[in-house]
């Protein structure tokens, strides 16, 4: 696996992928690679205008569908429009933004990164034939699931703490879905991935000048890697016949920040089944979406 690249993606002809946030960064890189391997790709993006140039670049195998993960009515409308698909890649996300709310009143990072994708996966699950891949981050290590105040209604807001909670929730959701598939003998798979430190627009739109500057320094000194490289773990998880249900994939280099995809470790708290079940139950309550598994 240490030298795995887009050249190793098996032929995807006849398969359909939905990639959220495919208008730039990791999502755009993943969509290009999947289409190049023969797949039909749905670019699920909040801004159709921003996604259209990527779809036009890819060609006939790509189409754009509007999806705002910060608005559950948009998530439901998207799920209603989409037909059968093979793989859902929950790629979109926001990072370290100022305190704000989704349309439904959730803290923006938890609401967009986790609850939006949770609802989307649940609504699309009857139509998914093969895999769900959910992007987390090395920042899951900083996360804590605060059941007493998931949406920062009482505690002091700190953008990186909120981001860590959302990324831990992403990972716990992917692992719990994998366990639920296995428990009922469902042959579909749920996998998680992270890009390491990938140089994408996400890093430079935190609305914090100091953070943006530090991210830029990281890019200059080559701590990170280009988006095309950062997308490899999610592509491996989505397409490799060797990828396994319930595993977490990320770069194999120093600190998991760069390199070719490999099985990645995660903090023990991400494997806490009691917390995962509680998070699942609360997510169903908050979104109104229940899973047929």
Most distant CA pair in the chain, distance: 50
Asked if 244 contacts 15 with a C-beta cutoff of 8 angstroms, the reply is: no
Q: Which residue has the tokens 């992007």?
A: 135
**Exposed, middle or buried, 285 (CB in 10 Å: 0-12/13-18/19+)?**
exposed
163 catalytic residue (yes or no): yes
User: Catalytic one among 152, 157, 163, 266?
Assistant: 163
* DSSP bridge pairs for 40: 16
Neighbours of 154 (CB within 10 A): 8
Who's near 30: CB < 8 A, 6+ residues apart?
19, 22, 89, 91, 231, 234, 235, 238
CA distance 179 to 273: 10
Residues taking part in catalysis:
163
């Amino acid at each position: 696996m240490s030298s795995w690249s887009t050249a190793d993606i098996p032929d995807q002809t006849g398969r359909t992928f939905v990639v959220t946030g495919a208008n730039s960064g990791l999502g755009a890189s993943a969509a290009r690679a999947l289409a190049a391997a023969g797949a039909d790709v749905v670019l699920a993006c909040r801004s159709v205008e921003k996604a259209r140039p990527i779809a036009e670049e890819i060609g006939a195998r790509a189409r754009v569908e509007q999806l705002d993960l910060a608005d559950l009515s948009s998530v439901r409308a998207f799920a209603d429009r989409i037909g059968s698909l093979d793989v859902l890649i929950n790629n979109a996300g926001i990072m370290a933004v100022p305190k704000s709310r989704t349309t439904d009143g959730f803290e923006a990072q938890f609401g967009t990164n986790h609850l939006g994708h949770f609802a989307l996966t649940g609504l699309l699950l009857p139509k998914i034939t093969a895999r769900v891949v959910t992007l987390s981050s090395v920042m899951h290590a900083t996360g804590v699931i605060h059941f007493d105040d998931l949406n920062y209604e009482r505690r002091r807001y700190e953008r990186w703490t909120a981001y860590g909670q959302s990324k831990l929730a992403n990972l716990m959701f992917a692992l719990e879905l994998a366990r639920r598939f296995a428990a009922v003998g469902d042959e579909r798979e749920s996998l998680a991935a992270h890009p390491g430190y990938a140089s994408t627009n996400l890093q430079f739109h935190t609305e914090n000048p100091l953070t943006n500057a530090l991210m830029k320094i990281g890019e200059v000194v080559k701590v990170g890697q280009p988006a095309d490289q950062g997308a490899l773990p999610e592509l491996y998880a989505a397409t490799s016949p060797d990828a396994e249900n319930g595993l977490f994939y990320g770069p194999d280099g120093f600190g998991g920040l760069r390199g070719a995809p490999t099985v990645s470790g995660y903090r023990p708290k991400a494997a806490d089944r009691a917390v995962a079940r509680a998070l699942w139950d609360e997510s169903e309550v908050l979104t109104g979406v229940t899973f047929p598994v």
